[in-house]
């Protein structure tokens, strides 16, 4: 039997309709649009594509956005000084520093400079700490998007075994915390995990965030499982993207599965918009 495809594009479009109304309401109440500042250092082509989609996303929702493009040789002090300026800018509610940054820049130090109230990527240690202890915070966008997609499967996570492959600070660890918050029993796998296939076979919910094309095979998927594929991997010699899961094989076994592209990707940007509106409201109301 073939899995139900969780269409991230359609879910994102539906959420964005709601966000449009929230932007309208915000404008009515506060007389301005929620504002996002995107900072990009250097000219990495992938980063440029991401930044353009973020700006486009803002425009489509009627939000304000501005871009700060800095040269590759920008110093740590210059970058942190721009972030501090944006922290104080009343037009700006969200600050996003596009990663990766050039090697000479300490990205953690830059992120720590962002006002946690404006940290719409949810990467600041204060937001990560609050996420861990279950306090209100700005949640990182990809993990928040993954949770929305799981919700669409209708599967109640309580008592389910969720297996997350990948333990990065931006996907694997935060999504594990969010799954735990929803009462799943969570196993986190990584490059030193023994018997990855066996771990995956026990998953009622399988989240793959590795960055290796089709590393998760179809026969690693438990029949009926919810499979969320975060990976975006370029196929050599083409512009095609593939996920971490062997989609064609896995969809014959899984109950629900996200495609690549068109799964997690569209949700990440949508959650960024959601976070910016949330940050704007919190700033204006002091809550
Ligand atoms: P990282 O490279 O930071 O982390 C990868 C993780 O995978 C690490 O924890 C690593 O383990 C683990 N890993 C590597 N090889 C193996 C293996 N053979 N077996 C088991 N685990 C392994 O990646 P990110 O978390 O940043 O991203 C993961 C993927 O998700 C990438 O393809 C990225 O492009 C994509 N992504 C997509 C987004 C979207 O919006 N669609 C957003 C963010 C990421 P260890 O810690 O031991 O090294």
Helices marked H in the chain = 8-30, 45-60, 76-88, 107-113, 125-132, 141-153, 172-181, 196-201, 247-250, 264-285
Would you state the pLDDT for residue 1? 65
Mean per-residue pLDDT, 254-280: 97
Would you state the pLDDT for residue 278? 98
Cβ–ligand 1 distance for 230 under 6 Å, the answer: yes
Mean per-residue pLDDT, 117-131: 98
Whether the pLDDT of residue 56 is over 90: the answer is yes
Q: Which of 93, 121, 229, 244 is catalytic?
A: 121
Ligand 1 centre to CA of 206 (Å) is 14
Among 190, 206, 262, the mutation site with the greatest number of ligand 1 atoms within 8 A of its Cβ is 190
**What residues does 268 pair with on adjacent strands?**
none
Under the banding of pLDDT at 50, 70 and 90, the label for residue 78 is very high
Cβ–ligand 1 distance for 167 under 6 Å, the answer: yes
Cβ–ligand 1 distance for 53 under 6 Å, the answer: no
Ligand 1 centre to CA of 176 (Å) is 13
For residues 28 and 38, the answer to whether their CB atoms sit within 8 Å is: no
Walk me through the domains of the chain, giving residue ranges and CATH numbers: 31-120 (3.40.50.10860), 141-264 (3.40.50.720)
Ligand 1 centre to CA of 99 (Å) is 14
Q: Which contacts qualify for 153-159: CB closer than 8 Å, 24 or more apart?
A: 153/4, 153/6, 153/226, 153/255, 153/256, 155/204, 155/205, 155/226, 155/255, 155/256, 157/182, 157/183, 157/184, 157/205, 158/182, 158/183, 158/184, 159/183, 159/184, 159/185
Nearest CA to ligand 1 atom 19: 191
Please write the tens of the pLDDT for every residue from 2-26.
999 999 999 999 999 999 999 999 9
Nearest CA to ligand 1 atom 13: 191
Cβ–ligand 1 distance for 261 under 6 Å, the answer: no
Least confident of 43-52, 121-130, 141-150: 43-52
Q: Which of 93, 98, 119, 139 is catalytic?
A: 98
98 is catalytic: yes
Would you state the pLDDT for residue 154? 94
């Amino acid at each position: 039997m073939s899995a139900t495809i969780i269409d991230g594009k359609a879910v994102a479009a539906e959420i964005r309709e709601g966000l449009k109304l929230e932007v309208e309401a915000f404008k009515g109440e506060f007389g301005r649009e929620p504002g996002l500042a995107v900072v990009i250092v250097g000219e990495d082509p992938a980063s440029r594509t991401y930044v353009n989609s973020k700006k486009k996303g803002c425009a489509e929702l009627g939000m304000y956005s501005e871009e700060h493009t800095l040269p590759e040789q920008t110093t740590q002090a210059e970058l942190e000084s721009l972030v501090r300026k944006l922290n104080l800018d009343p037009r700006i509610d969200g600050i996003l520093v596009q990663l990766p940054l050039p090697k000479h820049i300490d990205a953690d130090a830059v992120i720590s400079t962002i006002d946690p109230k404006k940290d719409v990527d949810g990467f600041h240690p204060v937001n990560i700490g609050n996420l861990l202890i279950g306090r209100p915070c700005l949640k990182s966008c990809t993990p928040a998007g993954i949770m929305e997609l799981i919700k669409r499967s209708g599967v109640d996570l309580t008592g389910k075994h969720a297996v997350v492959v990948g333990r990065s600070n931006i996907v694997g660890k935060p999504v594990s915390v969010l799954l735990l918050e929803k009462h799943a029993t969570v196993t986190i796998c990584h490059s030193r995990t023994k018997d990855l296939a066996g771990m995956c076979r026990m998953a009622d919910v399988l989240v793959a965030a590795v960055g290796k094309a089709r590393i998760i095979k179809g026969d690693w998927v438990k029949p009926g499982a919810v499979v969320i594929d975060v990976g975006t991997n370029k196929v050599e010699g083409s512009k095609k993207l593939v996920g971490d899961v062997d989609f064609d094989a896995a969809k014959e076994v899984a109950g629900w599965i996200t495609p690549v592209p068109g799964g997690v990707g569209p949700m990440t940007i949508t959650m960024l918009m959601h976070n910016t509106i949330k940050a704007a409201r919190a700033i204006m109301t002091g809550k």
